[in-house]
Amino acid sequence: MPLPRFLDIEYCQTDDVLFPTAMAWSLEDGRMKTVVIAPDDDWLPDDGDLGDVDLAYLEEQGVPLIELARELHQDLPDQTVYVDGLDPDEVLVDKIFSAVAQEAPFELAPIGELIPDLSPDDLEDRRRQYLIDEGLEPRLPENGVYGLLMLARDAGLMDED
């Protein structure tokens, strides 16, 4: 049985800008991919204020948007991809694909649609508890995906081989 797919995005948000800085997603077999995202020039504010985001790091280590879009098309075609529902994920995904003049190959849905037995607050409490128990930084997208995978495991949506 293929596993549900999950995605989490870290982002920069100031008064003037909102754009993705890193992304993680899970694959059909439960493995995960993580990338730092090189920002599109159009996303950057004129005054250069990005809060605590290191623009030089994003530009040096980040994956170009066209490569990210290509990889997402390969990994998540025609999928429903589940997110924690707390972040502006749809806006961020739209920014990525608009910058390369493409449509997203997947549809986003909140984790509550996959696990309807728990309230959104209970789902978030459990996801955060997994991160705390493992000593993981909640802002890292790969840790967000890990927490969503653990929720799916506990809901019986994946084998525990």
**CATH number for the domain whose boundaries are 5-154:** 3.30.420.10
Q: Does 129 score more than 70 pLDDT? A: yes
Q: Hey, where are the domains in the chain?
A: 5-154
Judge whether 81 and 2 are in contact, CB under 8 Å. no
What one-character DSSP code corresponds to residue 62? P
What one-character DSSP code corresponds to residue 3? P
User: pLDDT band for position 92 (50/70/90)?
Assistant: very high
The whole-model pTM stands at: 0.92
Judge whether 92 and 9 are in contact, CB under 8 Å. yes
Residue 87: per-residue pLDDT? 80
